[in-house]
Amino acid sequence: MKLPHPPLLVITDRRAARRPLEEVAAAAFAGGCRWMSLREKDIAHDERVALLRKLVVLGKEHGARVTVHEDIAAAQATGAAGVHLPSGGSPMAARAALGDGALIGLSAHDYDEIVRAETEGADYVTLSPVFETASKPGYGPALGLDELADLAAKSVVPVLALGGIDARTAAACLAAGAAGIAVMGAVMGAADPRATTSALIAGLGLS
């Protein structure tokens, strides 16, 4: 499965957003985001489906792929591009439900979880936290670029660096071997999500 280009995954967090989530998403898409995942796990399924459907429509207007965290049923109901699973999730089950064309990822924090993702056929993993981050505290000490490089080199599946990444560190993550980056607070909490997204993409140093 070829990952979206540019390899920037924007993960939603409406609690951190300064504007309604749809507005932030539209701004991120306008800034060049071509891959977004709805992570709002604390809302009811029906509400999540409604919100996801709106993001899928917005994404299509910009040629962007929109996935959802965990909720396979929501992905099925909305025609979302795929699903991102927690470290204990089953990519095999998601694939069986969503089909070969779905984009399926898994959260990983160490080598064992990367191996599990490979074994179960995930298309990518997010590896976190690479740097210290306020968005997802409690996941242990930051891995750092050296550990990112080591794990990315061992991984068969593409690794997206996640955790505390900004425009200044994006290129360093790719230089360390990451296939791309994933961000949440950097875009969600930005005063100007469009400009921040554009800066992150520029920071990757890709054409």
Low-confidence ranges of the chain (pLDDT < 70): 134-140, 207
| Distance from C-alpha of 82 to C-alpha of 114, rounded to nearest angstrom | 19
Q: Give the model's pLDDT for residue 185.
A: 94
| Distance from C-alpha of 207 to C-alpha of 193, rounded to nearest angstrom | 21
Q: Which domains does the chain have, with CATH numbers?
A: 8-204 (3.20.20.70)
In sequence order, what are the residues at sequence separation of 6 or more whose Cβ sits closer than 8 angstroms to the Cβ of residue 118? 155, 156, 157
Q: Give the model's pLDDT for residue 82.
A: 98
Q: Give the model's pLDDT for residue 135.
A: 60
Question: pLDDT tens digits, residue range 144-172?
Answer: 999 999 999 999 999 999 999 999 999 99
| Distance from C-alpha of 164 to C-alpha of 200, rounded to nearest angstrom | 12
What is the Cα Rg of the chain in Å? 15
Q: Give the model's pLDDT for residue 207.
A: 62
Q: Give the model's pLDDT for residue 141.
A: 85
Q: Give the model's pLDDT for residue 2.
A: 87
Q: Give the model's pLDDT for residue 133.
A: 78
Sign (positive or negative) of CA dihedral 54, 52, 135, 129: negative
* 153 token code pair: 């080199």
